[in-house]
Structures are given as structure tokens and as C-alpha cells.
Amino acid sequence: MEASEAPLARPRQPDTACRSALVVRYDEIGLKGGNRSMFERRLLENLRAALRGTPGLELHRIRGRALVRAAVPAEELTAPAARVFGVSSLSPARELGHDLEEIEAAATTLVEELLERRFPGAGEVPFRVTVNRATPRFRRSSMETERLLGARLLERFPRLRVRLKEPALQVELDIRDEGAFLFADRIPGPGGLPVGSLGRALCLLSGGIDSPVAAWLTMKRGVRVEFVSFYSFPYVGPQLKEKLQRLAERLAGWQPVSVLHVVPFTDYQVAIRDHADPRYRTVLYRRAMQRIASRIARRRKAQALVTGESIGQVASQTLENLALIEEASSLPVLRPLVTYDKRETVELARRIGTFEISNLPAPDCCTVFQPERPVIHGRLEEALEAESRLDLQALTEDAVRRTERIRFPESP
């Protein structure tokens, strides 16, 4: 996508009211040497997807930043843009020309509004002006511009007091070839790398608290994540499926496109129940999940599986059992939460908006036919022996064949 070459929606009028634009900063991408422009292109594409439907949307690359213009105030774009990985911070800005008078007038209006809205009363307000000039087309230096603008604002608003460190009000001006961008806020972005710049993985998404967080952490590292859920209808009811869809939809707010694969798991579980030592049921369910997920992952060109497992969280998550379960996967298994405490996971789940959904009541398929004492230090030979009594290939193929695929957003 040639985002940076998109034409301007309308030509600039020399002295109309200033336009609103969103200045988007990214930092880690800047470290990637030769790959930098690939990462930048991906970031722009993902921003465009996050903002789809916005009237008059235009995206541009300007010297180490992205610039978003639209026919709506930039403030309306900050929430969706702040869910694009790779973004370090965002500033809704007023887009101006290089004319100092015009800049002074806009800065005066901005400060007037902010004083009224954020600092009511007559108290002093510690403030500074910060200018970042990166074009020779604007002749004054950054420092000189800071002084001129600062002096003008101090004169106009007697409540302002210059304070260079930790001012309560900071007026910033970025001067680029394209124009000057005036703003007062830096809204933090999620950081990380643009989704899709580092491949694809398939996350085993249960209705629990952990796996959605594991998926999110994987996306944050630039990996596009699809989801697979094992669904044992009618032993678990439609409320679980609905919950899974809601989780996938919530996570879809963090990447351009999401796909949820819902695998009918009942037949596999019944076969395990009928043929294996009850103590091994949970481990064998988990091995079956890895086997089916690996198949779906290969079809979908995903290069790894992701789970929400962490050490010692439940009886089945001992190092022995993790190894025993992973043995059934033909792809690397990523476990972003492996060292997390539950408290840390819950905190993150709240922040990314999956916690309330995970907390809705719905039974999990692993509790179907659950034994009283699941094995804690499982042995591979025992698992393999039990599996030798099952037709793994037929069970796996049948489950994959009957898998339902749901896409978010629904239409391309």
C-alpha cells in the first residue's frame, strides 16, 4: 500500500482555519536497520485498518513519524490508533503552515482553551514550549522559535510561569517539510511491533483469563495471531462459544483481521474417555489439542502455537506435563505467560479489556469427564500407550474437517 503517496483530499488554503491531524510516533521500529521501511509500511497499513470507515482518511510518512489526516477531529482517532502495536505515542495536533504569525495565533488559541478546560481559576501554571524543527524550509532554529513563542504566550497569559522540567502544560511544535504541527498531549501507545511484520501464530484460546493475554502479548511482538478453540458441544453449552467469540472480537481490536477456528472436540474426548486411564484424560485432551492445532496452523501458514500455560498454575502445568503435552505438537509452542503470577496476568487482562469477558460463567471442555486425580507427573510412555488404542489420525482429520471458521471483522 502506497500510503505515503495518497493525494491530499483538498489543496491547502493559505489562511483558512487550521486542520486537525494525528501525529504518530514509533520507536522500536527505528532500530530495525534495513527492515525499517517494511516495518513502517506495515504500521501504516495497520493504522489504516484500525481507522477504517473514517471519512477523508489519509496516511503519510513524515521523517520518522506517521501522520494521519481525516475529515474528523484527530481526537476521535486516538482511541483506535492507540491499539496499533508499534505506536509509542500519539498527539492530536493542529496542522499549520510555516508562517510564524499563524503558529502564534494557533498556539494562543490552544493555550487559551487548555487553561480554561484544565486549569480553571487564577493559579499559576508551570509551562514550557518545545520545538522540534526538522526542515531547513523553516528558517528559525528550534531554540529561537521556542523563545519567540514562549515570550508571546507569557505576555498574553500572565498565569503562565516557565518551568522547563515537568511543566503542567507543555506546548509542542514539530516543524517538518509538510508543515508545522502544534499539540499539547502525548498519549501513550501500546509499544511493540506492527502485527504481521513477524509472521503468524495460532493461539489456543480457552474461555479462561490466561490465553487471551498470551495472544495479546504475542501480537505485541509483531506476530499476527489466529485463534483456535476446542468446543465440546453438548457437554459444554452455547454460552461458551458465545464467550469465545466475544474474546476473539475483543482481541480483534488489536490487529487488522482475526480468525477464530472452533473445533468440535466431543468425539475425541469420548474416545479418550472410553479407551484411556482416567488419570491421563486431561493430558491426553491437551495432546489432542496440540495435534489438531498443529494441523490447522500449517494450513493457515502459522509458524508456532501459543498457549496461556504458566508453570505450576494448575496441577496439569508441571514441567513434566508441559513437555509431555508439547511433544504432540509439530510446531514450536510459545508460552508468553510461563513466568507470570496470576495477579500479573489479571492486571494485564483488565487493561486490554478481556478480563470481564473471561469472567463470564461458562464451563471449559477440559472439565468434561474430568477424573478426580489427574496425573501430575505424566510419563510419555503411558500417554503413547493409551493413544495406541485410539485412531488418532481419523479423530484428528475428522475434527479438522468439521472445524468452523469465524472472521473478525465479519466482512473484509
Closest CB 252 distance from ligand ATP, rounded Å:
17
Nearest Cα neighbor of 305 from 327, 272, 320 is: 327
Q: How far apart are CA 407 and CA 100, in angstroms?
A: 50
Q: How far is the CB of 301 from ligand ATP (least distance, A)?
A: 20
User: Which of residues 209 and 272 has its CB atom nearest to ligand ATP in the complex?
Assistant: 209
For ligand ATP, the closer CB: 50 or 205: 205
Element (H, E) at 289: helix 281-299
In this structure, are residues 190 and 219 in contact, taking their beta carbons and an 8 Å threshold?
A: no
The correct pick among 78, 145, 206, 307 for binding Mg ion (CB under 5 A) is 206
Q: Could you say which of 179, 192, 194, 208 contacts Mg ion (CB under 5 A)?
A: 208
In the numeric block, the cell 489432542 is attached to 288
Number of residues assigned to the chain = 412
Q: 3-class DSSP state for residue 176?
A: strand
DSSP per residue, 184-229: S--EE---SB-TTTT-EEEEE--SSSHHHHHHHHHHHBT-EEEEEE
**Residue 307 interacting entry, from Mg ion, ligand ATP, none, C-beta within 5 to 8 Å by type:** ligand ATP
- Examine residue 189 and tell whether it contacts ligand ATP (CB under 6 A): no
* 294 binds, options ligand ATP, Mg ion, none, Cβ within 5 to 8 A by partner type: none
Residues 2-21 that bind Mg ion (CB under 5 A): none
Among 20, 229, 258, 321, which residue interacts with ligand ATP (rule: CB under 6 A)? 229
Instruction: Write the CA distances from 306 to 6, 143, 242, 329, 336, integer angstroms.
Output: 37, 50, 21, 11, 8
> Among 81, 107, 111, 209, which residue interacts with ligand ATP (rule: CB under 6 A)?
209
Does 205 sit near ligand ATP (CB under 6 A)?
Answer: yes
Q: Which of 82, 105, 168, 314 binds ligand ATP (CB under 6 A)?
A: 314
Out of 307, 321, 329, 403, the residue judged to bind ligand ATP by CB under 6 A: 307
CB of 83 vs Mg ion, minimal distance in Å: 25
- 226, exposed or middle or buried, with CB in 10 Å at 0-12, 13-18, 19+? buried
Dihedral sign computed on CA atoms, order 285, 290, 294, 300? positive
Contact residues: ligand ATP, CB under 6 A: 204-206, 208-211, 229-230, 289, 307-309, 313-314, 316, 364-366
Contact residues: Mg ion, CB under 5 A: 206, 208
